[in-house]
Structure 1
Amino acid sequence: MIIFPILIVISIVLYVYYKVAIVKSDDGLTQHYFNAKSRICLGSFVFFFAINQYLFYLTRVSLIIGIIFILLGGYQMYYGLKESKHYRNEWKRLNPSE
């Protein structure tokens, strides 16, 4: 199952990328948008990490902890997607020419 470690590494790299982009940006709306994107990446990291750990150990304890992490990761991804959509629409409203 090499796919889950690859997804974990990609999501953590994108999380760091968006966090650095927040620091580089001066616009508040862009910072909120990048923060929402980083929340999606953090949620996917936790989600895929939970699946990977359960598949690695296959114990009842890892299943319980994995379910908790899957719920937390799913919540972060959902909230990040919702936030990202809101700030993207807000940016389009404020910048109709672009």
Structure 2
Amino acid sequence: MFIFAVFIMISIVMYVYYKVAILKTKDKLSQKYLNAKSRIFLGSFLFFFGINQYIAYQTRFILFISIVFLLLGALQIIDGFKEAKHYRNEWKKLHPDG
């Protein structure tokens, strides 16, 4: 479907955006936070790619591959959210005024 292709493209663009943003910053805490955000979009890419492939082909083999992509994507998204929340809270502790 077209909507999943759009989500896949947005995920790739945002993943690359956050990876490039890591190179621009020197603060290690900010780099870890941006890396966590990039993991969220890497996971969303895997998740939407797995859905898109199953919808496109609908075979048993693709079903198993899609399930693996969905699980890996969901784990990346969950882990990315947990890391982003942790590093955001750490940044707020170090910068209470801002």
TM-score, normalising length: structure 2: 0.99
User: Where in structure 1 do 4 or more consecutive aligned residues deviate above 3 Å?
Assistant: none
In the alignment, structure 1 segments of 5+ residues that lack a partner are: none
1:44 counterpart letter in structure 2: S
Deviations 1:3-38 (A, max 9, x none): 100000000000000000000000000000000000
1:69 counterpart letter in structure 2: F
Secondary structure of 2:26's aligned partner: coil
In the alignment, structure 2 segments of 5+ residues that lack a partner are: none
2:5 counterpart letter in structure 1: P
Q: Which residue of 2 aligns with 1:79?
A: 79
Q: How many residues align?
A: 98
1:16 counterpart letter in structure 2: V
TM-score, normalising length: structure 1: 0.99
Secondary structure of 2:36's aligned partner: helix
User: Aligned partners of 2:81, 2:62: CA distance in 1, in Å?
Assistant: 27
- 1:1-98, aligned counterparts within 5 Å? 1-98=1-98
User: Aligned partners of 2:89, 2:6: CA distance in 1, in Å?
Assistant: 31
User: Aligned partners of 2:93, 2:48: CA distance in 1, in Å?
Assistant: 34
* Aligned-residue CA RMSD (Å): 0.4
User: Aligned partners of 1:72, 1:80: CA distance in 2, in Å?
Assistant: 12
